[in-house]
A = this chain, B = another copy of it.
């Protein structure tokens, strides 16, 4: 497989970064080709704006999604966006590697999504969920957080982690057609021993070596809804 890891951590010595480096090594050892977009190292601009389009269909009024659709047709997307789109198009598997910030992704990764998942290529009209533009590709989250695992769950203090991941796993990755694989989650990272970190690296390795066997998460299919998207 061709694998793209989009990595977002401000500290190159962080454990999140160690997980990313380990993933590259493990995946290459199995025979996959791995590319990394290290957003902090790239100084990636996360702010969606008019500057993302070399030419506009409407100069007077910025409708960001419409301009994405236009510019993706006329090849007028800003070059940093175009480069990332081509990396995703080449990839069979997309991995987001990040520390959880505010039960979500860091802004630099959110902005990578805002700018790179362009209307017209990733989705548009009735091309979403199991008809999305990234159909046939897989995606997976790999992230670290401070809380312990018992703090997440249906009756736990922060609620179920799957529920917190809905916007990214369902509203983003599944929406554009990816098969979303179960995430790899490293809990309590800032507080654990080196030994526990070694165990996490080992667990991540097993997760990655087992990719082909992982069952994708279940999300809606367009066929379960009528023309106006009411449930059938």
Contacts and interface: CB of A to CB of B under 8 A. Distances in A.
Interface of A: 10-11, 13-14, 40, 46-50, 60-65, 101-108, 110-111, 113-114, 117, 129, 146, 148, 150-151, 155-159, 163-164, 166-168, 170-172, 175, 190, 220, 222, 224-225, 228-231
A155 B172 CA distance: 18
Contacts of A103: 166-167, 170-172
Contacts of A49: 10, 40
Q: How many chain copies does the complex carry?
A: 2
Contacts of A228: 150
A159 B166 contact: yes
A155 B224 CA distance: 10
Nearest to A111: B107
B110 A104 contact: yes
Given A157-B231, A229-B150, A231-B156, A104 B163 contact: no
A167 B111 contact: no
A64 B159 contact: no
Q: Which 8 A-B pairs have the closest CB atoms?
A: A103-B171, A107-B111, A11-B62, A46-B107, A103-B167, A107-B110, A104-B167, A110-B110
A46 B47 contact: yes
A133 to B, nearest CB: 14
Contact of A225 (B106, B157, B175): B157
Nearest to A61: B13
Contacts of A159: 166, 170
Given A101-B48, A104-B104, A164 B167 contact: yes
B110 A10 contact: no
Nearest to A11: B62
Contact of A114 (B65, B106, B175): B106
